Amino acid sequence: MPVQSTRSKHLALILAREFASNLATPTLIADEHGALVYYNEASEEIVGLPFSESGEPPLAEWTDAFAPRGIDFQPLSDDERPTRIAFNQRRPAHQRVRLTGADGIEREVAVTAFPLFAHADEFVGIVAFFWRE
């Protein structure tokens, strides 16, 4: 069974999770440390695993687990991945990618990720949306 974090979450992350839980658009949320906080039911088809089974892995672990590749099948470096751009550079990013879910199925998706700020200088995490191509 995955270990859940006992660290308290920022209100903005709690509200983002509530928002995402009501969306039909696949949505993923990570906190300011890069820990996966939540992905909604719509994301489970892309991730290949229910959120209840995923836990809160660190950023490097959950992004690497998808084996992200460009449309040309070439592996993407951290600097090319929308979620890592949003996290590391604190700016929005969008790209079409190929991902392999936990179920072993490769999927082509468009990913839009953006940083989440509670105040202009208070980074609290990222939000990513996925669209099936």
Residue 88 lies in a domain: yes
Residue 81 lies in a domain: yes
| Residue 2 banded pLDDT, cuts 50, 70, 90 | very low
Amino acid identity for residue 68 in this structure: P
Interstrand relation of 27-31 and 36-39 (parallel, antiparallel or unpaired):
antiparallel
Residue 4 lies in a domain: no
Q: Is 70 left (phi over 0), alpha (psi -120 to 50) or beta?
A: beta
Domains identified in the chain, total number: 1
Residue 60 lies in a domain: yes
Show the domain range for 110. 11-132
pLDDT tens digits, 18-76: 999 999 999 999 999 999 999 999 999 888 888 888 878 887 787 788 889 999 999 99
Q: By the 8 A CB rule, do 133 and 110 touch?
A: yes
Selected residue with higher pLDDT from 128 and 55: 128
Q: What is the CATH number of the domain that holds 128?
A: 3.30.450.20
